[in-house]
């Protein structure tokens, strides 16, 4: 592996991450233009509908470096697009600028791209090097690639455990994380399009489910309420954020309590994968499942998840609802004050996992 290629791709990945949560339904993408071991341009896709990373990188080149563009190498975290979306194809730009070498991390599985961007560049004599920091690049593009190739949202499970393995009490709300951790949770909320909780959690916690401690948008709150359990004074039915209530066809249902609340009718008997397919059709590319345990368990049992973030606080509850067990091989662990956060990826994404290691 060429170390320089990795170094520049790492920079491109850093740039891509700057717009985390802002680019949906696009992935975050970064690009770096290098002439003789010197970065002469860099950029990232900042928001959906805004110019792509390649465009931003080329726009950033100073006048005195413009002549070097054709002899530079363009590092992009994702295969350049070759289709007209909200913006023109980046492959056209690369060919027009006569750039001879492009290095990418992974493919864009979007319809019409998925290898065609690479092929088109090669057909025009551009040398394309693939798979540089592929694992990191694939993770960066994963929400987009799962959404377009599996027609379902990317699913992140989030749960908080007490030190003795409980996730809460059936009858009342218990806070199982410290204020420092809340910010991380709000950052997660910013990362996704939507957040889903069961009616049990909604009733016990009466949560707001907004992103108040991190910048950026609020996710859509989604609550499956097939048995009409939600009282109309629920907090999230009355603030300014968007809320979707999933229900079966019910002509007697009261009108939505506010303009931001939308009823989404799902046929009775639709299973969890079917609900996810429905949400993808409604444009939801990623969803954070914040509980409660029954909801999380149903995602685990249906094998409908991609990532799980579990926090464990130093508090003992002594009794309560036992959380799902059997989590081994966290991919990462961070500590925020008294809370440990373990980050798991679904085994399908892991090369190997040694529970004893």
Indicate the residue among 11 and 144 with the shorter CB distance to ligand AOF: 144
Q: Is the dihedral of CA 117, 121, 123, 127 positive or negative?
A: negative
CA angle (306 as vertex; 303, 307 as ends), nearest 5:
120
**Residues 314/338, Cβ–Cβ less than 8 Å:** yes
Binding site for ligand AOF (CB under 6 A): 26-27, 29, 45, 52-54, 78, 80-81, 85-87, 90, 108, 110, 113, 144
With tokens 């662990």, the residue in question is 333
State which of residues 11, 52, 186, 221 lies at the interface with Zn ion (CB under 5 A): 52
106 binds, among ligand AOF, Zn ion, none (CB under 5 to 8 A by kind): none
Structure tokens belonging to residue 183: 């910010």
Min CB(27)–ligand AOF separation in Å: 6
Min CB(250)–Zn ion separation in Å: 44
Binding track over 5-44 against Zn ion, x by CB under 5 A: ----------------------------------------
Give dist(CA 290, CA 78) in Å, integer.
Answer: 30
Min CB(48)–ligand AOF separation in Å: 6
Min CB(60)–ligand AOF separation in Å: 14
Catalytic residues: 54
Taking CB under 5 A as the criterion, which residues in 225-264 touch Zn ion? Answer: none
Q: What is 29-56 written as a DSSP string?
A: -EEEEEETTEEEEEEE--STTSPPHHHH
CA dihedral 99, 101, 107, 110 (to 10 degrees): 10
Give dist(CA 143, CA 153) in Å, integer.
Answer: 7
Indicate the residue among 116 and 221 with the shorter CB distance to Zn ion: 116
Taking CB under 5 A as the criterion, which residues in 73-132 touch Zn ion? Answer: 81, 90
Binding residues for Zn ion, per CB under 5 A?
Answer: 52, 81, 90
């Amino acid at each position: 592996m060429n170390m320089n290629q990795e170094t520049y791709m790492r920079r491109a990945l850093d740039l891509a991450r700057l717009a985390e949560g802002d680019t949906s339904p696009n992935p975050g993408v970064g690009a770096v233009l290098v002439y003789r071991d010197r970065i002469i341009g860099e950029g990232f896709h900042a928001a959906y509908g805004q110019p792509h990373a390649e465009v931003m990188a080329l726009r950033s080149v100073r006048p005195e470096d413009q002549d070097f563009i054709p002899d530079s190498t363009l590092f992009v975290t994702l295969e350049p697009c070759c289709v007209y979306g909200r913006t023109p194809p980046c492959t056209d730009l690369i060919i027009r600028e006569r750039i001879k070498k492009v290095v990418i991390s992974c493919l864009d599985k979007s319809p019409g791209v998925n290898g065609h961007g690479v092929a088109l560049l090669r057909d025009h004599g551009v040398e394309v090097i693939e798979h540089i920091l592929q694992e990191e690049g694939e993770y960066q593009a994963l929400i987009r690639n799962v959404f377009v190739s599996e027609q379902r949202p990317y699913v992140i499970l989030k749960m908080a455990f007490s030190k003795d393995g409980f996730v809460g009490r059936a009858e009342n709300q218990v806070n199982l994380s410290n204020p420092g951790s809340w910010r991380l949770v709000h950052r997660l909320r910013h990362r996704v399009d939507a957040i889903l909780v069961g009616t049990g959690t909604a009733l016990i916690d009466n949560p707001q489910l907004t992103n108040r401690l991190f910048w950026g948008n609020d996710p859509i709150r989604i609550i499956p309420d097939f048995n009409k359990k939600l009282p109309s004074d629920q907090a999230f039915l009355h603030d300014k954020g968007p809320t979707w209530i999933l229900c079966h066809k019910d002509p007697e249902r009261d009108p939505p309590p506010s303009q931001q609340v939308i009823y989404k009718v799902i046929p009775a008997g639709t299973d969890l994968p079917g609900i996810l397919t429905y949400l993808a059709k409604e444009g939801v590319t990623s969803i954070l499942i914040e509980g409660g345990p029954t909801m999380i368990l149903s995602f685990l049992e249906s094998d409908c998840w991609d990532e799980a973030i579990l926090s464990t606080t130093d508090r003992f509850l002594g009794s309560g609802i036992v959380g799902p067990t059997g989590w081994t091989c966290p991919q990462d662990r961070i500590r925020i004050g008294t809370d440990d956060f373990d980050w798991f990826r679904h085994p399908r994404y892991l090369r190997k996992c040694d529970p004893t290691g």
